[in-house]
A and B are shown apart, each in its own frame.
Chain A
Amino acid sequence: MIPGNKDNRDGWLFSIPFLLVFVLFMLFPLVYGLVISFFRWNILSDKVFIGFQNYVNLFADEKFYTSLWHTVEFVLITTPVLLVLGFLMALVTTSKSPLRKVAENVFFIPYIFSMTVVSTLWAWLFQKQYGLLNKVAGLFGIQPIGWLTDPNWAMWSVCIATFWWTAGFNMILMSAGIKQISSEIYESAKIDGANYPQCVFRITIPLLKPTIVLCLILQIIASFNVFGQVYVMTGGGPFGKTRTIIQYIYETGFSYFKMGYSAAMSYILFLIIMIVSVIQYISLGRKSDE
């Protein structure tokens, strides 16, 4: 198409700066991590090669499964809710309401703040005896709820804080998608007598599908990597009820210094995230092509 095509050379040339960084700070440590996962190593003494023993051990480790399950639980709760929340918020910010600009700011601002700030703030709001939520509930005669200490509530409380923190990101993605939809489609639908819910379900959602798929994939990856907010808010408690897999990886690696075991678990997690993403990409990608 282009005379004197040097695309192969140029393509790689343009990739070099990034690839250098990528290899140095991502691939190399990743491979090194894989090597570590075949050793018993507390980082202070010499490494002892133990083959696949770490992997064998982790498949017999109950705590590995329960922690993994807590992560999956978190993914299953947060992903749909965050998508729906983001979508509803996007409907607000793309509506004609005079409040739409304010709404955009209010919904989005939490996202820019750090995990530490958001988690300590919510840990304080949820505090059982002196936290705002229970103080307000107390005004209505409700007994204090152990938001973070009651095993039935703890995971939900962490999820609530996460909704507040990250829903704004999905909102922006979705409202951009909605703005792309031509207003003519809505107008002609209105002429045909369609009401608002019909417009949303028949037009907005189907046409927004590519954005929703993107949100879904990004959201699932993010949720699988959940660690900080749970660690700060509940410390994995009560009795390990909210310990996520990354926290377990963190504890074995950085508190108990079982580097090999920790690396092995990370790889299994990496693999799971990868498989889930590929399955999603294939199944959803195919559907939206139809």
Chain B
Amino acid sequence: MNSAPRAKRIIYNTLLSLILILWFFPFIWMVFTSLKIENEVVTKVFHFFPQNPTLANYIKAFSSSKILRWMLNSAFTSAMAMILTLIVDAPIAYAFAKIRFRGRNLLFWTVMAGMMVPFQVLIIPLYLQFNSYGLINTMSAVYLPRIALPIGIFIMKQFFEGIPDALEEAAFIDGATRFRIFSSIILPLGKTAFATVTILSFINCWNDFLWPLIVMNDTDKYTITVGIANFQGTHGTQYSLIMSGAVIACIPQFIFYLFFRKKIIAGIAMTGIKG
């Protein structure tokens, strides 16, 4: 009676482990490739493991580029994006969730429609606009267009709707203002939602490519995604070098993930609840 389900479970878990290994495998291959010399990568003979593991690609990546500088730029712009996203998006999300004001629905759908705009449409007008403000080639140009994050508003709105009205009503009766309620009741309760939104906006800004490329002129001011794109040669791909760049670019995000794993997952999950 008991052995059949157990056998099933073992088969299931073995299969699952196999799938997981396969799913994770591209990362392993990325690291292996980055540890090989190019002649071992582009060859008819197939070696799975690096035959003579070398850090040469990494040394080249660090010495021939400003990769640390770029990482810092990415970290700074992404951090700014996430802070500002919160400051700007949380109040309106609260308004959508809890305040019945005239024009709310129309406004909400307008904001959501913003999600559907292909960013390519905006680039040239935005560029000219930023130029007239004198913001080209400044860090703020990278993160400013990223702080209006409709999905972030959506997540926070979902979360705020879950906070019982009774809490607010009690405060109202005590004579608290909206702002008071927002800052003393809603904000402390919303931590999980805020964490998610900051993380989404961080990932969003960190991974951005075309906009920072166009808007930043000095090599010193590139973000990491723009910088490592230059590893692609003008006339030919050097896979081992490109993979080492990819590994380097992945490390900060990986660390970030280690830290905030639970929050990221909990937060994205929140989007779906009551969806």
Q: Is residue A148 within 8 Å, beta carbon to beta carbon, of the partner chain? A: no
Known contacts being A14-B92, A99-B20, A214-B271, is A273 close to B116, with CB within 8 Å?
A: yes
Q: Which residues of A contact B101 (CB under 8 A)?
A: 7-12
Given contacts A117-B249, A124-B242, whether A11 and B100 have CB atoms under 8 Å apart is yes
Known: A172-B269, A176-B272, A228-B209. A18 touches B91 (CB 8 A): yes
The docked-state distance in angstroms from the alpha carbon of A6 to that of B118 is 37
Contact between A121 and B16, CB atoms less than 8 A apart:
no
Decide if A26 is an interface residue (CB 8 Å cutoff): yes
User: Is B124 in contact with A43, judged by CB distance below 8 angstroms?
Assistant: yes
| Known interface pairs A2-B169, A17-B88, A121-B243; A214-B121 also in contact (CB < 8 Å) | no
Task: Evaluate contact between A102 and B117: CB separation under 8 angstroms.
Answer: no
A103 touches B16 (CB 8 A): yes
B126 and A114 contacting across the interface, CB-CB below 8 Å: no
Q: Do A7 and B23 touch (CB < 8 A)?
A: no
Q: Are the C-beta atoms of A277 and B249 separated by less than 8 Å?
A: no
Evaluate contact between B148 and A266: CB separation under 8 angstroms. Answer: no
- Say yes or no: A17-B272 contact (C-beta < 8 A), given A138-B46, A172-B265, A266-B121: no
B83 within 8 A of A: no
A121 touches B30 (CB 8 A): yes
Q: Please name the residue on chain A nearest to B231 by beta carbon.
A: A120
Contacts of A122 in B (CB 8 A): 26
Chain A interface secondary structure, helix, strand, loop or mixed?
A: helix
Contact partner of B125 (CB less than 8 A), chosen from A14, A33, A254, is A33
Contact with B along A179-219 (1 / 0, CB 8 A): 11000000000000000000000000000001101110010
Q: How many A-B residue pairs have CB under 8 A?
A: 240
Contacts of B217 in A (CB 8 A): none
- Chain A residues closer than 8 Å to B129, beta-carbon distance: 24, 28-29, 32
Min distance, Cβ B103 to any Cβ of chain A, angstroms: 8
Checking B13, B94, B257 against A98 with a beta-carbon cut-off of 8 angstroms, the contacting residue is: B13
Closest to A222 in B: B115
User: Is B235 an interface residue when CB atoms closer than 8 A count as contact?
Assistant: no
Q: Is the CB of B253 within 8 A of A112?
A: yes
Identify whether the interface residues of B are mostly helix, strand, loop, or mixed. helix
Write out the residue numbers on chain A whose beta carbons fall within 8 Å of the beta carbon of B30.
121, 124
Does A58 count as interface, using CB distance less than 8 angstroms? no
In the complex, residue of chain B having the shortest beta-carbon distance to the beta carbon of A165: B26
With A18-B92, A105-B261, A250-B120 known to touch, is A25 a contact of B145 (CB < 8 Å)?
Answer: yes
Task: Please report which residues of chain B, range 1-41, place their CB below 8 angstroms from some CB of chain A when the two chains form the complex.
Answer: 9, 12-13, 16-17, 20, 23-24, 26-27, 29-30, 33, 41
Interface string of A256-286 (1 = CB under 8 A from B): 0001001100110110011001000000000
Q: By the criterion CB–CB under 8 Å, are A36 and B125 in contact? A: yes
Contact between chains at A104 and B265 (CB < 8 Å): yes
B95 beta carbon closer than 8 Å to chain A: yes
The answer to whether B148 and A26 touch across the interface, beta carbons within 8 angstroms, is yes
Assuming the A-B contacts A8-B101, A14-B92, A97-B12, are A114 and B87 also in contact, with contact meaning beta carbons closer than 8 angstroms in the complex?
no
Query: Which residues of A sit under 8 angstroms from B250, Cβ to Cβ?
Result: 113, 117
Which of A103, A250, A262 sits near B20, CB closer than 8 Å? Answer: A103
Task: Tell me, rounded to whole Å, the shortest Cβ–Cβ distance linking B128 to chain A.
Answer: 8
CB nearest neighbor in A for B84:
A21
Interchain CB contact under 8 A, A263 and B121:
yes
In the complex, the answer to whether B268 meets A173 with C-beta atoms within 8 Å is yes
Question: CB < 8 Å: which of B91, B118, B144, B242 contacts A266?
Answer: B118
Chain B residues within an 8 Å CB radius of A43: 124
B99 at the interface (CB under 8 A from A): yes
| B121: contacting residue among A33, A121, A135, A210, CB under 8 A | A33
| B197 at interface, CB cutoff 8 A | no
The 4 closest A-B pairs by CB, nearest first: A11-B101, A176-B269, A214-B275, A29-B125
List 28 A-B pairs, Cβ < 8 Å. Answer: A12-B101, A14-B94, A18-B91, A18-B153, A21-B147, A21-B148, A22-B114, A33-B124, A97-B13, A103-B20, A106-B23, A112-B254, A113-B250, A116-B229, A117-B246, A122-B26, A124-B30, A124-B239, A125-B26, A173-B268, A177-B273, A210-B275, A211-B273, A214-B272, A246-B120, A266-B118, A270-B121, A274-B116
